[in-house]
Amino acid sequence: MKFGIVVNEGPYQHQASDSAYQFARAALAAGHEIFRVFFYHDGVNNGTRLTVPPQDDRNIVERWSELATENELDLVLCVAAAQRRGLLDEGEAQRNGKDADNIAPGFRISGLGQLIEAAVQSDRLVTFGD
């Protein structure tokens, strides 16, 4: 089965990101495919490379990056939600006159069309968070 995943909550404010990550790992381990993980609303905060959790806590951003690298996952941050929250890739930083970018490895920024495509191309679209 091919899954699309939507994450609507930030990494440390809500259980949604942890649950989505665990779901993605379990689905991949069971032989399923993840078409795309789309981070929307506060969920885009899962894609900042500037997160520094305490050493005894889990690093959710790093977990997503590693999962993407190991499984060639497409991790997409909604461009409008990301810009509102100060998350920029190199292109968006230059386009908006900012001096830095802060997207974690494995993530990319794109529009809502990527969410629609995930819904169309997947057998199931699973949403985590409000």
Residues annotated as catalytic are 78
- Residues 28 and 34: beta-carbon distance below 8 Å: yes
CA–CA distance, 72 with 49 (Å, rounded to integer):
19
- Interhelix angle 60-71/16-29, rounded to 10 degrees, is 20
**Encoding tokens for residue 111?**
């529009």
Tokens 């806590």 correspond to 57
Residues 6+ apart with CB under 8 A from 112: 78, 80
Helices (H) and strands (E) in the chain, counts: 5, 5
